[in-house]
Amino acid sequence: MAMASPRRTERMQRRPAPTGVVMRNDAGTHEVEVAKALNQWAVTVTSLDDGRMICQDFFNRRWEAVARAEDFLRLLNRSEPPPGW
């Protein structure tokens, strides 16, 4: 007797939706957040001292947003601030 194959939804395990990331620089003065906003991925850099937003950028792909957040962290962790900061 032949067995019916299981439904497609029963065979496939659902992956959880990708979540955001929150990172702080080494000095603990700034926070870089990657979060889903406006149907895109937002990268927000916030100063922890006064809570003001330094910059915000939007990306279609999560990996691009995470890469940009890591770039911001690398800049914030420099011993000397970049020109213009």
pLDDT digits over 65-75, tens only? 999 999 999 98
Q: Does 45 have pLDDT greater than 90?
A: yes
Is 84 a domain residue?
A: no
Element (H, E) at 66: helix 62-76
Please check whether residue 62 is in contact with residue 70, taking contact to mean a CB–CB distance below 8 angstroms.
no
Lay out the sheet containing 21-24: strands in order across.
21-24, 30-37, 40-47, 53-59
Evaluate whether residue 81 is within a structural domain. Answer: no
**Number of domains the chain contains:** 1
Cβ-contact 74, 28 below 8 angstroms: no
More confident residue, 82 or 28: 28
Q: How much of the chain, in percent, has pLDDT values that exceed 70?
A: 80
Domain-embedded: residue 12: no
pLDDT reported for residue 8: 58
pLDDT band at 83 (very low <50, low <70, confident <90, very high): confident
Q: Is residue 72 part of a domain?
A: yes
> Which range of residues forms the domain containing residue 30?
18-76
- Say which residue, 82 or 45, is predicted with more confidence: 45
Q: Is the pLDDT of residue 62 over 90?
A: yes
